[in-house]
Amino acid sequence: MDATIHRLKNARIAMFFGDHPPAHVHLLGPGFKVSIEVATLKSRGRADSRIVAEAKVWIAENEELIMAIWNERGAKR
């Protein structure tokens, strides 16, 4: 199960509950899926670089919120 935690113009940032460490989110959009680590902003997958950059800015600015969600529901136990 996943939950959208933020919406961008052409994509959404989601977290899959019960996902594997390290803490990360998924950038999902039409025809792409990118995984982005919260602490390092390292990404895996391919998407328009402008969308990935926009997502990384939001993730960096909201790291505390994302980690609270991850610690509550995201991490595999």
pTM of the predicted protein model? 0.91
**Residue 77 vs residue 48, higher pLDDT:** 48
The bridge status of strand 32-37 relative to strand 43-44 is antiparallel
Alpha helical stretches, state H, the chain: 49-61, 63-69
Interval 10-24: pLDDT, tens: 999 999 988 899 999
Query: What are the sequence ranges of the domains in the chain?
Result: 2-74
Does pLDDT of 39 surpass 60?
A: yes
pLDDT confidence band for 57 (50 / 70 / 90): very high
Q: C-alpha angle with apex 45: 5 to 13, nearest 5 degrees?
A: 5
